[in-house]
């Protein structure tokens, strides 16, 4: 992997981890800095989310600071210039999911464009 590819993947990883931080999630302004205006998600529940609906949940404190999301096996790949794909396992209060995100480079920095969670045993 080239230095440029490594920097792109690292920027996406840092953004992903920030979005999992309960303090960031509690701030709609900080969440908006990390989500693409065209953001969509297919949650582990099977529900579709957009920016508006995800802000309602995140600002409501859906992730407990006493029980942060545990992330493991995170890896990333630069799919094309300005487009990174991340995958990882997430454990949140006894629920385990396989997660996949697409991050794209915009004029204002790296932003999550798409996210999917799949329940895991």
CATH number at residue 31: 3.10.450.50
- In tens, the pLDDT along 92-101 reads 888 899 999 9
Q: What is the pLDDT of residues 37-73, one digit of tens each?
A: 999 999 888 999 999 998 887 766 554 455 678 999 9
Query: Residue 61: its pLDDT value, please?
Result: 52
**DSSP state string for 51-109:** HHHHHHHHTTT-S-TTSPPEEEEEEEEEEETTEEEEEEEEEETTEEEEEEEEEEEETTE
What is the span of the domain harbouring residue 49?
3-119
Number of domains composing the chain: 1
Distance, CA of 33 to CA of 112 (rounded, Å): 10
Q: Which two tokens stand for residue 78?
A: 């630069």
Consecutive H or E run containing 18: helix 3-20
Which tokens belong to 43? Answer: 């949650």
């Amino acid at each position: 992997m080239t230095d440029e590819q490594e920097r792109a993947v690292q920027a996406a990883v840092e953004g992903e981890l920030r979005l999992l931080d309960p303090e960031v999630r509690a701030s709609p302004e900080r969440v908006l800095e990390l989500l693409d205006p065209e953001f969509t998600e297919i949650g582990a529940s099977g529900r579709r989310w957009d920016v508006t609906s995800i802000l309602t949940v995140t600002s409501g404190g859906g992730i407990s600071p006493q029980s942060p999301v545990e992330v493991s096996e995170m890896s990333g790949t630069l799919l094309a210039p300005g487009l990174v794909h991340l995958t990882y396992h997430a454990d949140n209060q006894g629920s385990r999911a396989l997660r996949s995100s697409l991050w794209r480079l915009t004029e204002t920095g790296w932003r999550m464009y798409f996210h999917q969670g799949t329940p895991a045993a």
